Amino acid sequence: MNIKDVASRSGLAAKTIRYYEEIGLVRARRGDNGYRVFGEADLHKLAFIGRARSLGFSIEDCRALLGLYEDRNRASADVKQLAKGHLDCIDRKLAELEAMRAALARLVEQCSGDRRPDCPILEDLAGEDPGRRS
């Protein structure tokens, strides 16, 4: 398999796969012409990474997950801890985004959105406190 095939079958971009090789996340054999050659095992590994990335795991998380995946002696507790840490991270981001959303939604709601120049959004950003509650 050449890079484009493994790319389309794994759902990753060819560029991305070359990048993963560059940072040592995966390795690829080379053919006589210098082209990268991939087998089913490589495809499997890349798809694994793709799924982990789509769950929001960082590259370094993926490196750790791959290590655990290939270690036949690892305990599931190690994997669980990594996943849990990531879950906490997601929860923090969610809380932050929700707070952001609430603040912004309140501002948008207060703004008449007409042709007059008065705008509570800008007033709030400017720190002019007239309409500030809590």
Closer residue to a copy of itself (CB): 35 or 99: 99
CA distance 3 to 38: 7
Torsion on CA atoms 90, 92, 96, 98, rounded to nearest 10: 60
Tell me which of a copy of itself, DNA, none is bound by residue 8, counting a contact when its beta carbon lies within the kind-specific cut-off of 5 to 8 angstroms: none
- Give the shortest CB-69-to-a copy of itself separation in angstroms: 5
Q: Does the CA dihedral 26-85-13-11 come out positive or negative? A: positive
Q: Which does 52 bind (CB under 5 to 8 A by kind): a copy of itself, DNA, none?
A: a copy of itself
8 binds a copy of itself (CB under 8 A): no
> Per CB under 8 A, does 133 bind a copy of itself?
no
Residue (29 or 84) nearer to a copy of itself, CB = 84
Burial of 89 (0-12, 13-18, 19+ CB in 10 A): middle
- Which range of residues in 11-19, 20-28, 31-39, 71-79 is near a copy of itself by CB under 8 A? 71-79
What are the residue ranges of helices labelled H in 1-134?
3-10, 14-22, 40-54, 59-70, 76-110, 120-126
| CA end-to-end distance (rounded Å), the chain | 61
Q: Which residues bind a copy of itself (CB under 8 A)?
A: 44, 47-48, 51-52, 55-56, 65, 68-69, 72-77, 79-81, 83-84, 86-87, 90-91, 93-94, 97-98, 100-101, 103-105, 107-108, 111-122, 124-127
